[in-house]
Amino acid sequence: MNLIKKNYNGIPLYIAENLNSKVMILLFHGFLSSTQRQNERTEIMEKFYNAGFSVTAIDSVKHGERADFAEFNKMEYLKKERELFYIVEESSKEIDDIIDILTKEKKINNKKVFCCGLSMGGLISWKAASNSKIDGAIIMAATPYFKRFAEYNLERKGDKLTREEIDFLEQIEPFNNIELLRKKTIFIASGSEDIIIPSFFSEEGYKELNKKQNNLNIVYKVYKGGHSDNIEMINGAIKWLLAEVK
C-alpha cells in the first residue's frame, strides 16, 4: 500500500489511492486513538485498500498529529471525555474541506465517497452521513442518539449533563437530518458484548431509520465481541460494501 501523508490546513490526512476503485473511504478513528494507532491494532486501512477501495484516513480534532493534541492530552480523562461531542462536531465540519482537497488532487474523480468509523469515528460518520457530498456510511460501535448516550455515559459515573451541554447535543443530533439519512447507503454494526455503547443504541437507530419504509439501502448487523478492534465487524463491513458497489 502506497501511503501519502499530507497536512491540509492543519488536518492530517493519510491517503492510499486505488486507481481502479469505485469508492473513496474517509476513515475516522476512535476516541484517544489516531490513524496510526488504529491501523496498528486493526490494519483497517490495509483491509479496505486490499479489498480494492481508496482510503483517506483522518486524524480527528485534538488527536494524532493535530497541533492541539499535546494540550488536550494533558487533560484529566473525565475532562477529555466531556469534549467528545465537541470533537465529533468539529471533525464532521471538516468533511467539505477534505473532499474539496481530494477532488482538486484528483483522488476522488468519479468515485463514490463513504465515511467510515469505529466508536468516536462512528459518531463522526453518523454526523457526516447527511452531508450532500457523502454517498454512504459504515458506522460501527456508535449511536445516532448523541444526547441520550451522553446522559447514559455520565449517569453510570454519577454525573449529569449541564444545560449548555444538553442544548449543544440537541442541536447536533444526527437524526435532526433523518430524512437525508434515509436516502443514504448505510451499514450499521455493533458488538453483542459492547458495554461502552451497547448494541441497543444502534438497533433502535436502525429501526427509527426504517420506521416509514423498509430501506434496503440501510442494514444492521450484530457481531460477537465488544466495543473496539472487532475484526469480524470490519471484515463484515468490507464484504457488505463490495456487494453494494459491484
pLDDT-derived band at 228 (thresholds 50, 70, 90) equals confident
Rounded Cα distance, 31 and 194, in Å: 15
Q: What is the mean pLDDT of the chain?
A: 95
pLDDT tens-digit readout, 113-169: 999 999 999 999 999 999 999 999 999 999 999 999 999 999 999 999 999 999 999
State yes or no: pLDDT of 216 exceeds 90.
no
State yes or no: pLDDT of 215 exceeds 90.
no
Q: Residue with C-alpha cell 448516550?
A: 149
State yes or no: pLDDT of 239 exceeds 70.
yes
Q: Which residues pair with 138 in a beta bridge?
A: 116, 187
Rounded Cα distance, 15 and 26, in Å: 9
Rounded Cα distance, 55 and 113, in Å: 10
- Quote the pTM value: 0.96
C-alpha cell at 200: 441497543
Rounded Cα distance, 53 and 48, in Å: 6
State yes or no: pLDDT of 46 exceeds 80.
yes
User: Who's near 189: CB < 8 A, 6+ residues apart?
Assistant: 138, 139, 140, 141, 202, 220, 221, 222, 223, 233, 236, 237
pLDDT-derived band at 211 (thresholds 50, 70, 90) equals confident
Task: Please provide the distance, in angstroms rounded to a whole number, between the alpha carbons at the two ends of the chain.
Answer: 22
Mean pLDDT of 64-87: 96
pLDDT tens-digit readout, 178-207: 999 999 999 999 999 999 999 999 999 999
